[in-house]
Amino acid sequence: MFFSIQTIALVASTGLLATQGVQALAVEERSTSLCNQANYGASGVPWKSNSSPGSFCSSNKPSNNKYWKQIPYADSYDKVRCSTSSRGRYNVCNGGNKKTNLPKKCNPPHKFPWGYSTPKTSTSSSAAKASATSSSAAAPVASSASSSAAGAASSAAASPAASSADSATPASAAPSASASAVDPLSYPVCDLSYQVQYQNYTRVAANGVWAGLTMGAAAQDASYMTYTLSTSVDDCLAACDQIEGCVFVNTYYDVNEEENYLPKHTDGVLTCAMYSTCVSTDNNDNWGGQDDPNTIVNSNGYCKSGACSS
């Protein structure tokens, strides 16, 4: 935002013609927007202690200390970059914001039919919803998954679920033993247009300060794009929506009480790590205590999915 104000001042003081003003705006934005900075202004990767976030993507910073002052609010990211004639130079612009399938070996949380409600339209059944999205990118996996899951589901869960859809209460509807019989693509848990791929992921730390202990664990993957900070998951997901090519967000608290004056360790502040692929939990091997005595708390994964589009 600030660069636009600067540009307005520039245009006003020099009396540029409107067309020149447009050019000046483009130049100004290209020189200051996060979109033209490596990793959108983030320095390094979020699983290293010496990294720093590119921006803060919620509306109110929780502190105004000198470290927080250095972090800009999120701008519109590469919407500038991708709207210019040089868009072909940037890989992130070429494919746009794709809706991807869930990664292989992913068993995300999902809801049974009687606890299920679609994000936007509530009247269509899950089967209708699945067929309605058949022309989307999710179709190949959705159709193959449903063909294999349909047999098991129809005998085990789907039929009783459908018949008791009106009477059963959500409170009684969480037997995890039969959860695997339900196709998560047909009954997704969605946040905005993202499938909740995992929540509060933990695993046993294989090395570092916490070796042998069950710890929260975050993603490390080559498809990393940038990371931001926020005070809500939905702000993280909205930021990913603004970054061309971003399809996956891993949110977590990077807790280090001794350094909680640093933005990324501030209490209540989420790290939002953005990726261009939906990263499997196989790659969640940042369990903290590896180059820093930090801990990863409440690690959630959100994969942009055709199953969650409205």
- Could you list the residues that contact ligand NAG (CB under 6 A)? 200, 202, 298
Rounded Cα gap, residues 182 and 223, in angstroms:
29
Measured from the CB atom, is 131 or 202 closer to ligand NAG?
202
In the three-class reduction of DSSP (H, G, I as helix; E, B as strand; rest coil), residue 141 is classed as: helix
In the complex, least distance from residue 185 CB atom to ligand NAG, rounded to whole angstroms: 24
Task: Give the residue from 37, 10, 38, 40 showing the smallest Cα distance to 25.
Answer: 10
Measured from the CB atom, is 118 or 298 closer to ligand NAG?
298
Measured from the CB atom, is 202 or 223 closer to ligand NAG?
202
In the complex, least distance from residue 125 CB atom to ligand NAG, rounded to whole angstroms: 31
Amino acid at 303: C
Rounded Cα gap, residues 206 and 190, in angstroms:
31
Measured from the CB atom, is 276 or 295 closer to ligand NAG?
295
In the complex, least distance from residue 109 CB atom to ligand NAG, rounded to whole angstroms: 12
N- to C-terminal Cα separation, the chain: 30
Rg of the chain, C-alpha, whole Å: 22
Rounded Cα gap, residues 107 and 171, in angstroms:
22
Rounded Cα gap, residues 266 and 220, in angstroms:
21
Residue 5: in which H helix or E strand, if any?
helix 2-14
In the complex, least distance from residue 254 CB atom to ligand NAG, rounded to whole angstroms: 15
Measured from the CB atom, is 118 or 202 closer to ligand NAG?
202
CB 110 within 8 A of CB 305: no
Measured from the CB atom, is 40 or 198 closer to ligand NAG?
198
In the complex, least distance from residue 241 CB atom to ligand NAG, rounded to whole angstroms: 25
Measured from the CB atom, is 81 or 111 closer to ligand NAG?
111
Helix axes 2-14, 18-32, angle to 10 degrees: 150
127's CB contacts (< 8 A; 6+ apart) are: 186
In the complex, least distance from residue 297 CB atom to ligand NAG, rounded to whole angstroms: 8
Rounded Cα gap, residues 192 and 250, in angstroms:
15
Measured from the CB atom, is 247 or 249 closer to ligand NAG?
249
**Residue 39, Ramachandran bin (φ over 0: left; ψ between -120 and 50: alpha; else beta):** left
Task: Give the residue from 211, 220, 196 showing the smallest Cα distance to 283.
Answer: 220
In the complex, least distance from residue 233 CB atom to ligand NAG, rounded to whole angstroms: 12
In the complex, least distance from residue 208 CB atom to ligand NAG, rounded to whole angstroms: 18
